[in-house]
Amino acid sequence: MSKQKKSDTSDLSRLLSIDKVIHEPARFMILAYLSTVESADFIFLLNQTGLTQGNLSFHLSKLEESEYVGIEKQFIGKRPHTLLSITDKGRKALKEHLKVMKELIDGLFGAY
């Protein structure tokens, strides 16, 4: 059983199955922050992640396309206000990504 597991974790082809939407550092960071809160607005994420407005906006769109993040747009007065939250699908994908990455790293560096 452990031999089987060892061969699994040292199989680099598993890297190809990694979720590329989450694997991008900025998107991973956004999902990690959103996974710790119920919901947050655009400015909160901007401050926490240190990304630029354009960058954050771009990556949020990608995460929204993959249905990992739910975006609710509101107007407070004349200003746009975007409330963001991680979806169940996003939370599951993040957990899975962390698990796969951990297994791969353990498998690759376990021998050292």
Among residues 48, 70, 87, 103, the one that binds other proteins under rule CB under 8 A? 48
Rounded Cα–Cα distance for residues 21 and 96 (Å)? 13
Site for other proteins in 15-34 (CB under 8 A): 32-33
Please tell me the count of residues contacting other proteins according to CB under 8 A. Answer: 32
Q: Which is nearer to other proteins, 11 or 72 (CB)?
A: 72
Query: Are 104 and 14 a contacting pair, CB within 8 Å?
Result: yes
Told to check if 92 binds other proteins by CB under 8 A, we report no
Beta bridge partners of 69: 86
| Token pair listed for 103 | 């297994």
Place of tokens 């922050």: 33
Judged by DSSP in three states, 105 sits in helix
Does position 82 bind other proteins by CB under 8 A? yes
In this complex, which beta carbon is closest to other proteins, that of residue 7 or of residue 88?
Answer: 88
Residue 17 tokens, joined: 């199955």
**Contact positions vs other proteins (CB under 8 A):** 32-33, 35-48, 53-54, 57-58, 60-61, 64, 71, 73, 79-83, 98, 102
